[in-house]
């Protein structure tokens, strides 16, 4: 059982993490996170974000306050192998690798791993900072270490309820509730990563109209996620502004395998002011603006399948 001091410190950290999530629409810049949070008039750190497991000196107990998974770099292997296990509804978090030599770094890694084990033993909530892109993190809070596997050197993380699971009583939510909350968090992280990768490939502009206002741009799936041919890969994505994304989803706008834009016949002959004329009609027959990197360009086979749905709706 944690002391009341430590529980209140965690709550202050959670409140600040959620406040930053709201302010930055779930993609919190590293500079904001490095400012930490305030507890009893003192600044407390969220961590260095260079090592994955952190416990501030202001805590009395031995358990970690935060865990970090660093963001992947485009077209490079992820720095950590942390994953989401859909079958079990859990995040898998890997221990820090202590290496093969008894060095200062090795001892620190093992000390950090013990902080993770203590979070499990005590049943205390932590903040899981998941890297989305260089310099951007999404806080998942509260998260609980619900299982430690010493053979694979991994920990299972589940998302708890913000109020019910952070009282002095500890973890009270049932497994089904946590599995649902964890699945929702995983989907949110998945969408953030997908959007970031797609917008980066398209140089933050709409592939139809070239709009460059990032706040109005979205990542559209060519083939939806739940389809076996779908997936959160750039070649299954299109950077679209909000109006063109909605038109694409409603089959009012289609893109054929050659990247040519088609507007639904009904809209082509409709008269409804400048938005319809300049926002949709004038792009009929135009080519999309494809990513400069060949490996990021939309998959023609996926475009063909999606275009059939557009034609069927015409």
Tell me the backbone φ, ψ of residue 119, rounded to 5 degrees: -60, -35
Which pair of structure tokens corresponds to residue 251? 């089959």
On whether the 4-176 domain is CATH 2.30.280, my answer is yes
Per-residue pLDDT at 76: 55
Q: Is the pLDDT of residue 82 over 90?
A: no
Count of Cβ atoms closer than 10 Å to residue 247 Cβ: 21
Per-residue pLDDT at 75: 53
pTM of the model: 0.79
CA gap 52, 127 in Å, rounded: 11
pLDDT (tens digit per residue) in 101-124: 668 777 888 899 999 999 999 999
Count of Cβ atoms closer than 10 Å to residue 137 Cβ: 30
Comparison of pLDDT for 276 and 32, the residue scoring more: 32
pLDDT (tens digit per residue) in 124-150: 999 999 999 889 999 999 999 999 998
pLDDT band at 219 (very low <50, low <70, confident <90, very high): very high
Q: What is the mean pLDDT of residues 253-270?
A: 93
CA gap 151, 131 in Å, rounded: 26
Identify the DSSP state of 206.
-
The radius of gyration of the chain's CA atoms, rounded to the nearest angstrom, is: 23
CA gap 217, 212 in Å, rounded: 8
pLDDT (tens digit per residue) in 22-31: 999 899 999 9
Which pair of structure tokens corresponds to residue 130? 């998941």
Per-residue pLDDT at 51: 74
For 80, the 3-state DSSP assignment is coil
Q: Where in the chain is the domain with CATH 2.30.280?
A: 4-176
Q: Is the pLDDT of residue 228 over 90?
A: no
Which pair of structure tokens corresponds to residue 299? 């998959």
Identify the DSSP state of 296.
G
| Residue 52: exposure state from Cβ atoms within 10 A (0-12, 13-18, ≥19) | buried
């Amino acid at each position: 059982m944690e002391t009341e001091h430590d529980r209140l410190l965690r709550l202050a950290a959670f409140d600040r993490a959620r406040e930053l999530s709201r302010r930055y629409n779930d993609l919190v810049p590293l500079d904001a996170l490095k400012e930490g949070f305030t507890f009893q008039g003192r600044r407390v750190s969220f961590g260095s974000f260079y090592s994955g497991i952190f416990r501030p000196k202001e805590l009395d107990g031995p358990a970690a306050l935060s865990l970090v998974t660093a963001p992947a770099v485009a077209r490079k292997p992820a720095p950590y192998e942390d994953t989401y296990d859909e079958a079990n509804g859990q995040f898998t978090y890997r221990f820090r690798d202590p290496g093969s030599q008894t060095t200062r770094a090795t001892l620190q890694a093992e000390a950090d791993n013990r902080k993770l084990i203590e979070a499990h033993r005590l049943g205390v909530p932590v903040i899981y900072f998941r890297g989305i892109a260089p310099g951007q993190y999404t806080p998942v809070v509260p998260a609980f270490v619900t299982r430690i596997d010493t053979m694979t050197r991994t920990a299972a993380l589940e998302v708890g309820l913000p109020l019910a699971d952070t009282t002095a009583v500890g973890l009270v939510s049932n497994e089904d509730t946590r599995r649902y909350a964890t699945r929702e968090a995983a989907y949110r992280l998945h969408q953030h990563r997908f959007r970031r990768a797609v917008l980066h490939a398209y140089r933050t502009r709409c592939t139809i109209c070239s709009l460059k206002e990032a706040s109005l741009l979205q990542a559209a799936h060519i083939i939806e996620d739940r389809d076996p041919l779908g997936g959160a890969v750039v070649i299954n994505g299109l950077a679209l502004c909000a109006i063109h994304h909605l038109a694409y989803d409603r089959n009012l706008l289609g893109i054929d395998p050659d990247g040519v834009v088609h507007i639904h016949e009904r809209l082509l002959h409709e008269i409804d002011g400048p938005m319809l004329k300049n926002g949709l009609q004038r792009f009929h027959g135009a080519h999309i603006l494809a990513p400069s990197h060949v490996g990021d360009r939309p998959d023609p086979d996926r475009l063909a399948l999606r275009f059939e749905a557009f034609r069927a709706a015409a």
